[in-house]
Structure 1
Amino acid sequence: MLILTETIGGNGHYQAARSLCQGLSQVEPELNAEICCGMHRVSRQLEQLTRAVYLNTLQYAPALWGAAYSREGEISDRFRTSLGKLLSRRLQEWLEEMQPDVVVCTHAFCLSAMGVIKERMGDRFRLGAAITDFDVNGFWIHPEVDFFLVAHEDVAKKIRRRFGVPDEAIFRTGIPIDPEFSKPQPPKSVLRRMLGLDPDRFTILLMGGGIGMGPIEECLYHFRRELPAHQLVVVTGKNRSLYERLQEQFGSDPRIRLHGFVDSMVHYMHAADIIVSKPGGLTSSEALACGLPIFICQPIPGQEERNSRFLMRKRVALRQDEPGEMARQILSLMENPEMLEEMSRRARELGRPDSSLAGARVIREHLLMKSRPV
């Protein structure tokens, strides 16, 4: 069993792979499942170049990425074919040595390569795609994919109608998150004490994703000034320079707790009252699993923009791209506790805390299909 992923744009795709692996260890303890970053295995130089181009595009020309993402019909086939052929040359020999029964991809780049390899090798393994957003584009679609793990019925409907994938190949498991989210948690006040927080203060979780992007610094400046009765937990991910800047500016404030990369967000999510974040698929899924109302600020054009629309359409999120206005919007929501509780209720209904276990069960079924004699 092989789970392929990439880390070129943050940690979310890898976290999804790891969560599936953890789910499999519970559902099928005897199974040997391995996680691998496909591009890293092909060429570290290619991986570094791709990461640099992607992150610089997001930082300096996000509209360009959004335009490419929205024109999926024109470029996805050509891009997928070219990338798939490039990566598959190096990966096929390794795959023939491993001889996995099932390969699941949590990133579209490695999925395209696996599709090409499966065409060449015949039906020697079953291929799955775990889509890590609340929408889907053509990069994820390949005729050799045997099954899809998707976030919601809306995604399943789009895959059926736009791309012609049969419904029996689509499983509404949710985006894979840490199985710990499916376990009962202590009350918020207890968790806050465990985390060194004031158990009685309204708690805001402020995140910028695994690479710490977004207007975290500006948000924190306004929140400290305009939300004096609140406490803030800030997670900067792997952005070390941002963490150091915030530590210098805000580290002495007892109401503000600063963290870099946090391996598991379970306790922090359950301890918070709301989350202010970019709408990445993994972070949003974790928030929904905890019933956290989501405040979205400056989503990246492309997948985050589409995630944002989905979350607002389901009325579990509010969007405000101006950090100063965000603080006032939070205050306004606090004055309407019924609305806050209703958003929390809808988030719990939409959330899938058992997503990695559900995904693992689907994978187990495909392992059994592969092992049955024809």
Structure 2
Amino acid sequence: WPLPLVGGKKQVPASDDGTIRVMVMMSDTGGGHRASAEALSDAFAQLYGNKFKVSIVDMWKNHTPWPVNTIGDSYNFLVKHSFLWRMQFRITEPSFIHKPWLGMMHQLSKKKLSQAFDEHKPHIVVSVHPAMQHVPLNVLRSRVRAGLQKPIPFTTVVTDLTECHPTWFHPNVTACFVPTEVCRNQALRLGLKNSQLIMHGLPIRPQFSQKLPPKWFLRKQLGMDQRAFTVMLAGGGEGMGNLEETVVALSKRLGKEAQVVVICGRNKKLK
């Protein structure tokens, strides 16, 4: 453990019909984790057709007991009070803080997480969330030791572009995909090996690589001014940040010759 697939010759196990089941673990803490999971799912379908069966699973919400299953719900509150989000990020950065916390999560959740692996029976596990390395890996390791399953590849796809939370990185993963050199260097400092790391950018849906209609046509479809200088603002899946204040300031600064487009995400109040 782990199954050494990177640079090795071992084959990924498969179902009797040849289908390979991929379990992508995410959590709806912001839109980026689900978006990455869906991008991976779409790419599998486009590249390999029915060879892979991808399941996107919110492990914390659907496969842990209370109160662990409420952790994701606190994210909306934290992003609305950014100083609290920043504080919890910094407080949990040191290993002497987050390792005991993850150990407690493991004790509380191991039974239900094991049931999730029984339910989905994955041949490959992919994590696109920083809180889904240590605990699921420990559960899988225990299952292997107990003879409940064979070792399977466990891959992390990091969805942060810069210095990120240390829980993204676990030395026992089969492979870790990182989007930038900054993330790669951090992973090396935290114990991963060069052979485990693949720098490959962020997952994006295949539709983004398809040829688009002309810009003027798209602007017309969206009811936009076809000639005006355009500024687009985005605040992630939750539409977080001071977007409304920024829009007002931009409108005053740019005047009537420009237009502002805001991606609100799930922020209904902002819409």
Q: TM-score, normalised by structure 1?
A: 0.59
CA-CA distance at 1:48 after TM superposition: 6.2
Q: Does 1:25 align with 2:45?
A: yes
Separation of aligned partners in 2, 1:73 and 1:132: 21
When residues 45 and 10 of structure 1 are mapped into structure 2, their CA distance, relative to the original with a 3 A threshold, is farther
* 1:274-285 equivalence runs, <5 A: none
Give the equivalent residue in structure 2 for 1:211.
Answer: 238
CA offset digits 1:206-237 (Å, max 9, x no partner)? 22221121111111212222212101112211
Letter in 2 for 1:197: M
Q: SS in structure 2 opposite 1:181?
A: helix
Given the alignment, which residue of 63, 71, 75 partners 2:97? 75
3-state SS, counterpart of residue 96 of structure 1: helix
Q: Decide whether the 8 Å contact of 1:84 with 1:109 is kept in 2.
A: no
Question: 1:226-305 to 2 correspondence within 5 Å?
Answer: 226-228=253-255, 229-243=257-271
Deviates more, 1:91-100 or 1:40-49: 40-49
Q: CA deviation at 1:185?
A: 2.5
Q: 2:192 aligns with which of 152, 165, 177?
A: 165
Pick closer, same or farther for the CA change 1:44–1:192 going to 2, 3 Å: farther
Q: Aligned pair in 2 of structure 1 residues 44, 94: CA closer, same or farther (>3 Å)?
A: closer
| Pick aligned residue for 2:175 from 128, 137, 147 | 147
Please list, as runs of the form range in 1=range in 2, the aligned pairs for 1:339-358 lying within 5 A after superposition.
none
The 8 Å contact of residues 24 and 37 in structure 2, kept in 1 or not, is answered as yes
Aligned to 2:63: 42
Shift of residue 25, structure 1, vs aligned partner: 0.6
Quote the offset at 1:47 in angstroms: 6.1
The share of aligned pairs that are identical, in percent, is 24
Structure 2: distance between partners of 1:104 and 1:68: 27
Q: Is the 8 A contact 1:22 1:179 kept in 2?
A: yes
Aligned in 2, Cα 1:83/1:232: closer, same or farther, shift over 3 Å?
A: same
Instruction: Trace 1:55-70 onto structure 2 (pairs within 5 A).
Output: 55-60=76-81, 61-68=84-91
Query: Per-residue displacement from partner, 1:231-290 (whole Å, max 9, x unpaired)?
Result: 1112211111222xxxxxxxxxxxxxxxxxxxxxxxxxxxxxxxxxxxxxxxxxxxxxxx
Q: CA deviation at 1:24?
A: 0.6
Structure 2 length-normalised TM = 0.80
What SS does structure 1 have at the residue aligned with 2:39? helix
Unpaired runs of at least 5, structure 1 = 244-374
Task: For residue 148 of structure 1, give the secondary structure of its aligned residue in structure 2.
Answer: strand
Moved over 4 A (4+): none
Report the Cα offset of residue 45 of structure 1.
Answer: 5.1
Residue-by-residue CA offset, 1:88-146 (whole Å, 9 max, x unaligned): 32010231243211010111223333211121122532111111101333212223311
- Give the Cα separation in 1 of the matches to 2:250 and 2:119: 54
1:103 pairs with 2:125: yes
Shift of 1:52: 4.2
Q: 1:43 Cα shift?
A: 4.4
Per the TM alignment, residue 21 of structure 1 is displaced from its structure 2 partner at its CA by: 0.5
| Residue pair 1:128, 1:148 contacting (<8 A) in 2 also | yes
Equivalent residues in 2 for 1:133-144 (5 A)?
Answer: 133-134=160-161, 135-144=163-172
Other structure's SS at 1:120 match: helix
1:160-182 Cα deviation digits (max 9, x unpaired): 2x122111111112111211122
Distance change >3 Å, CA 227–CA 20, structure 1 → 2: same
1:174 aligns to 2:196 (yes or no): no
- Is the Cα–Cα contact under 8 Å of residues 68 and 105 in structure 2 kept in the other structure? no
The answer to whether the Cα contact below 8 Å between 2:33 and 2:129 also exists between their aligned partners in 1 is yes
Q: Please, which of 137, 156, 168 is the counterpart of residue 115 of structure 1?
A: 137
C-alpha distance in 2, partners of 1:99/1:219?
Answer: 47
What is the aligned partner in structure 2 of residue 156 from structure 1?
A: 184
Structure 2: runs of 5 or more not aligned: 1-21, 145-149
In structure 2, the residue matched to 1:14 is: 34
Whole-Å Cα distance in 2 between the matches of residues 44 and 143 of structure 1? 27
Distance in structure 1 (CA, Å) of the matches to 2:86 and 2:41: 35
Offset, 1:159: 1.0
Give the whole-Å Cα distance in 1 for the aligned partners of 2:43 and 2:71: 30
User: RMSD in angstroms over aligned alpha carbons?
Assistant: 2.1
AA aligned to 2:116 is W
Equivalent of residue 92 in structure 1, options 114, 126, 129: 114
Partners of 1:119 and 1:144 within 8 A in 2: no
Q: What is residue 248 of structure 2 aligned with on the other side?
A: 221
